[in-house]
Structure 1
Amino acid sequence: MQLTGYRVLFEGNNFQRLMSAVGQVISLSLISLLIGLTLGIIIGIVRTSGNKIVNFIFKIYLEVFRIVPLLVLLFVFYYILPESFNHEVDNRQVAILVFVLWISAEMSDLVRSGIKSVPQSQVDIGKSIGFSKFQLYYYVLIPQALRAILPSVINLSTRVIKTTSLLMMIGVTELMRVGTQIIENYVVSEPTASLWVYGFIFFLYFILCYPLSKLAQYVQRKAI
């Protein structure tokens, strides 16, 4: 029996596969963000230490992940390096590794900028009451920096969710890969399958990202 448009989404287990892919997107994003943001905070703090060698090393690290497209990094870590060392790797683990490196680089720059934006007068007050360097960071610099960069961190989270669509290129079963597989099954019997499937995927990404985008706007307004 020939299907009609949107019915492709609910034929067989297509809908369940798409929902499972949503779960994959969410889990990959959450794990990557949890590790990447934590690592980024640490790197960002270290970058404000004033050590020129450390700053130079981390600046190169940051620039690599700014200049090199994420897709290229995924190919390097999943195809090129494993083949060079004759070692098989799990595509999900590679995805998390590359995302963590990318997120930590972005987050470190945000944290560094946030710390630098704290008024010098507040630093001087902390020093005047006898705060150690650790206490100065813990009680004065880091809390204010994190509040200042929170909207940017939320926006970074939406970028991470949207960028998971690239993971289909290394075989991770995320939304775009599942959608493409479904479309291939109906390319002859239902020519409009791509319209409905990709349209539904667009809707799912919108549902995931729009609340975060509005939250970032709300936090930014409250901070002003």
Structure 2
Amino acid sequence: MLELLNTDTLLRLWQGLFVTLEISFISIIITSIGGLFLGILMSFKNTYIYAFCRLGLEFVRVMPLLVWLFVVYFGFPRWFGWDLSSISAAIIVFSIWGCFEMMDLVRVSLQSIPKHQYESASSLGLNTVQSFVYIIIPQAMRRLTPMSMNLLTRMIKSTTFAYLIGAVELVKIGQQIIEFHNKNDFAPFIIYGLIFFIFFILCYPITLYSRKLEKKWS
């Protein structure tokens, strides 16, 4: 049973984990920047900007991630002539999804700031940009951080969908190892158990830290 956990298996799982982390981290960076920007824009309550952001949010929520992956990976090269790898397509999809989800969290966080804080900033002679930079955003970040961490763990776990468009990430590598050892009845239990443990190690500390911040700042 333990013959599966040899150097070659662990090395291949590490390679798959590297691809999973690559997709996750790049998507998270884009999500953090893009979501914050869109959330601030949405809070200005411009009719056209709000309509665009709301429409984008509904699109990413209504359409399953798997459909988005297929549309981008198979559709974009055909429609726009883009030569996308499976990893690039996954990053695009998770970044778009993450940006709009983060945007909504930013919007909620900004709207939770009491109105008198905006009035206080105005009474101090601060313009709109200065009010957001020095007063509103620092307070909103305390509300946003725990919620955004939950989103980030969802993004890490959702990268498992990428194998369906050919990305050789952790789950795909696990499947290949199981197929290679198809005569070993314990192979699925051991390999998927190990993959579960890896994702647990990646996500659980973030969840714990999120809970700690939520209790500290509540």
TM-score, normalised to structure 1, is 0.94
1:9 and 2:5 aligned = yes
In the other structure, the counterpart of 1:181 is: 176
Q: What amino acid sits opposite 1:191 in the alignment?
A: D
Deviates more, 1:17-26 or 1:35-44: 17-26
Q: For the residues of structure 2 that align with 1:140 and 1:87, how far apart are their CA atoms?
A: 43
In the other structure, the counterpart of 1:222 is: 216
Q: Please give the per-residue CA displacement for 1:115-145, whole angstroms capped at 9, x wherever unaligned.
A: 1100111111110010001101111111111
Aligned partner of 1:67 among 48, 62, 70: 62
Aligned partner of 1:142 among 132, 137, 147: 137
Aligned partner of 1:108 among 103, 123, 126: 103
**Which aligned pairs between 1:189-208 and structure 2 lie closer than 5 A?**
190-208=184-202
1:84: Cα distance to partner? 4.1
In the other structure, the counterpart of 1:125 is: 120
Q: What amino acid sits opposite 2:188 in the alignment?
A: S
Q: For the residues of structure 2 that align with 1:147 and 1:26, how far apart are their CA atoms?
A: 26
1:80 and 2:75 aligned = yes
1:209 and 2:203 aligned = yes
Q: For the residues of structure 2 that align with 1:134 and 1:9, how far apart are their CA atoms?
A: 56
TM-score, normalised to structure 2, is 0.96
In the other structure, the counterpart of 2:20 is: 25
Which structure 1 residue ranges, 5 or more long, are not aligned? none
Q: What amino acid sits opposite 1:92 in the alignment?
A: I
1:88: Cα distance to partner? 3.1
Contact 1:154 1:216 in 2 (8 A): yes
Alignment identity in percent?
Answer: 35
Q: 1:28 to 1:133 in 2, by over 3 A?
A: same
Instruction: Determine helix, strand or coil for the equivalent of 1:207.
Output: helix
1:48: Cα distance to partner? 1.1
Which structure 2 residue ranges, 5 or more long, are not aligned? none
Q: For the residues of structure 2 that align with 1:143 and 1:105, how far apart are their CA atoms?
A: 21
Contact 1:6 1:193 in 2 (8 A): no
Report the aligned-residue RMSD.
1.2
Q: For the residues of structure 1 that align with 2:214 and 2:142, how far apart are their CA atoms?
A: 10
Q: Please give the per-residue CA displacement for 1:65-118, whole angstroms capped at 9, x wherever unaligned.
A: 111111110000001332345553211111111111011001100111111100
Q: For the residues of structure 2 that align with 1:87 and 1:29, how far apart are their CA atoms?
A: 22
**Which aligned pairs between 1:32-47 and structure 2 lie closer than 5 A?**
32-47=27-42
Q: What amino acid sits opposite 1:204 in the alignment?
A: I
